[in-house]
Chains A and B, each alone.
Chain A
Amino acid sequence: MASRTTDAPSIASHPDAAAPVPAIALSGLTRVFGVVPAIVRIDLRIGPGEVVLLRGPNGAGKTTLLRVVVTALSPTYGSGSVLGFDLVRERDQIRRRAELLGHRTRLYEDLTGRENLRFACSLYGIDDRGVDEALERVGLGEAGASRVRDYSQGMRQRVALARTILRRPDLLLLDEPYAGLDGGGKDLVDSLVVEAAGEGRTVVLATHDAARGSMAGRMLFMDGGRLAPVPDPAPVAR
């Protein structure tokens, strides 16, 4: 498990990786809330550029796992690395490169869609010239000037999608992204996944929706906080 301490370039742009650094490498990862273990001894390797589907019933721990990977939560036991950066000690590096599209949209109700995106750009040091284009792409070209408070649930999720489009993270984590979206919205999510995969970025998609996820190269199954046993991906360059 490689662990870096400098601000090294991300996987996708590293020119000559002899042994590609895994996008996600977890070892014995456990997260406990009080006395309730949400995820238990997760051992996982996901290679760079993979598209992985994560399935499991409600309460299986999918959300907790994704939140730990994106460093919104810290592990109680175990260790791991994301994009080569340590899960506990190099969180800022991970945060720069990974994004979670989750249950909560992280929007400010009293700001407009456009203002929310501009603020996100300022947080991530991204040029905000692409904001209008991103809004168009998710179908909020006109609604971008209204307050998020007036948006429907589907519209809110589209703003979050626009944010992902602007950020282009090296690791994209999606937690039930199809919930609350109509057919067009779901297709939009799929196009984002396909686009990311095409650019060599890694995607983990957790969803109940049986009709979606066909673009995934691999499937993982979770239940009761544990991962169903799964073999390592075929060695890419060893």
Chain B
Amino acid sequence: MSLARQSAAVAAKDVRIEIRGRYALGAVVPFAATVLIAFGLSLGPDRTLLQRTAPGLLWLAVLFASVLSFRRSYESEGEDGALEGLLLAPIDKAAIFLGKAAAVFAQLVVLEAVVVVLVTGLFGLSLGASPATLVGAFVLGTVGLAAVGSMFGVLAESPRAREAIFPLLVLPLATPVLIAGVKATALAVAHRGGEAHGWLGLLLAFDVVVVGAGTLVFGQLLED
């Protein structure tokens, strides 16, 4: 079975579990909404300020909420020790990484769609002008984010103090996603989507590097 098919099997399994458990709807999206409302309250009712900061707040909400998604992705592996089952299977361990990243990617994209709608309403963000840039920013940014989170989510699976380490590790490493994502989104919203190709290129480079590195070394995280 090729790497692609193995990854697809893992991804399909994760997606099916997510649909059954409805964790994204039940916990992740409400958390993002709560975060956004908190942002709005803390920055005050000045409309112009909120509009200017909206792209940043949007990505921050996604970033924080994504931590929940990554945890959940590995929680289902931890309930009955299924992760060990994946380790002991004669599949390329990178398929576990790629499959889980793909499944989380799908979840995060759904989350982002909801967050974008919320931000449009709460902060008066206008989405019209450069949909291609906007979509590009979210897709490329989410690939990188999903890769980083799915890689280190392994550390969050077992008990002990590991859960606190996970955000500390992931958020700094995901800095390029935050910076480039926000910049590209801000340009798209300001009808200057054409200028964003540098940022999109950066996101692409980040994606290639992180997915590539993960594919090579992920297996090492599983062995004991």
**Partner-B contacts on A (CB < 8 A):** 70-74, 92, 95-96, 100, 104-111, 115, 119-120, 122-125, 147-148, 156
Least distance between B55 CB and chain A CB atoms (Å): 35
User: Which residues on A sit within 8 Å (CB–CB) of B86?
Assistant: 123
Residue among B79, B85, B224 having the largest count of chain A Cβ atoms under 10 Å: B85
User: Is A119 within 8 A of B76, CB to CB?
Assistant: no
User: Is B89 within 8 A of A147, CB to CB?
Assistant: no
Give the B interface residue count (CB, 8 A).
23
User: Is A111 within 8 A of B89, CB to CB?
Assistant: no
Q: With A72-B224, A74-B223, A106-B81 given, is the CB distance from A111 to B90 under 8 Å? A: no
User: Is B9 an interface position by the 8 A CB rule?
Assistant: yes
Instruction: For B90, give its contact among A96, A107, A147, A156 (CB under 8 Å).
Output: A96
The 3 closest A-B pairs by CB, nearest first: A104-B81, A106-B85, A123-B89
User: Is B195 an interface position by the 8 A CB rule?
Assistant: no
Interface of B is mostly: helix
User: Is B169 an interface position by the 8 A CB rule?
Assistant: no
User: Is A106 within 8 A of B84, CB to CB?
Assistant: yes
User: Is A106 within 8 A of B17, CB to CB?
Assistant: no
User: Is B164 an interface position by the 8 A CB rule?
Assistant: no
User: Is B16 within 8 A of A95, CB to CB?
Assistant: no
21 contacts between A and B (CB under 8 A): A71-B88, A74-B223, A74-B224, A92-B90, A100-B88, A105-B80, A106-B81, A107-B82, A108-B79, A109-B76, A110-B17, A110-B21, A111-B17, A115-B16, A119-B9, A122-B1, A122-B9, A123-B9, A123-B85, A123-B86, A156-B80
User: Is A120 within 8 A of B88, CB to CB?
Assistant: no
User: Which residues on A sit within 8 Å (CB–CB) of B85?
Assistant: 106, 120, 123
User: Is B84 within 8 A of A108, CB to CB?
Assistant: no
User: Is B87 within 8 A of A72, CB to CB?
Assistant: yes
Residue among A74, A107, A156 having the largest count of chain B Cβ atoms under 10 Å: A107
User: Which residues on B sit within 8 Å (CB–CB) of A70?
Assistant: 88
A72: nearest chain-B partner, CB-CB: B84
Known A108-B80, A123-B90; 10 more pairs at CB < 8 Å = A106-B84, A108-B13, A108-B17, A109-B80, A111-B17, A115-B16, A119-B9, A120-B85, A124-B90, A125-B90
User: Is B91 an interface position by the 8 A CB rule?
Assistant: yes
Least distance between A94 CB and chain B CB atoms (Å): 9
User: Is B89 within 8 A of A104, CB to CB?
Assistant: no
User: Which residues on A sit within 8 Å (CB–CB) of B13?
Assistant: 108, 111, 119
User: Is B160 an interface position by the 8 A CB rule?
Assistant: no
**Partner-A contacts on B (CB < 8 A):** 1, 6, 9, 13, 16-17, 20-21, 76, 79-82, 84-91, 223-224
Least distance between A90 CB and chain B CB atoms (Å): 12
Q: With A124-B89, A125-B1, A147-B20 given, is the CB distance from A108 to B9 under 8 Å? A: no
B14: nearest chain-A partner, CB-CB: A108
For the complex, what is the distance from the CA of A106 to the CA of B9, rounded to whole Å? 17
For the complex, what is the distance from the CA of A123 to the CA of B10, rounded to whole Å? 9
User: Which residues on A sit within 8 Å (CB–CB) of B20?
Assistant: 110-111, 147
User: Which residues on B sit within 8 Å (CB–CB) of A147?
Assistant: 20
User: Which residues on B sit within 8 Å (CB–CB) of A107?
Assistant: 80, 82
For the complex, what is the distance from the CA of A105 to the CA of B6, rounded to whole Å? 21
User: Which residues on A sit within 8 Å (CB–CB) of B16?
Assistant: 110-111, 115
A103: nearest chain-B partner, CB-CB: B81
Q: With A74-B224, A110-B17, A110-B20 given, is the CB distance from A104 to B84 under 8 Å? A: yes
Least distance between B22 CB and chain A CB atoms (Å): 10
User: Is B81 within 8 A of A105, CB to CB?
Assistant: yes
For the complex, what is the distance from the CA of A110 to the CA of B21, rounded to whole Å? 7
For the complex, what is the distance from the CA of A162 to the CA of B224, rounded to whole Å? 27
For the complex, what is the distance from the CA of A71 to the CA of B224, rounded to whole Å? 9
Least distance between A115 CB and chain B CB atoms (Å): 7
A96: nearest chain-B partner, CB-CB: B90
User: Is B80 within 8 A of A104, CB to CB?
Assistant: yes
For the complex, what is the distance from the CA of A104 to the CA of B158, rounded to whole Å? 14
Q: With A122-B9, A123-B9, A125-B1 given, is the CB distance from A110 to B88 under 8 Å? A: no
A119: nearest chain-B partner, CB-CB: B13
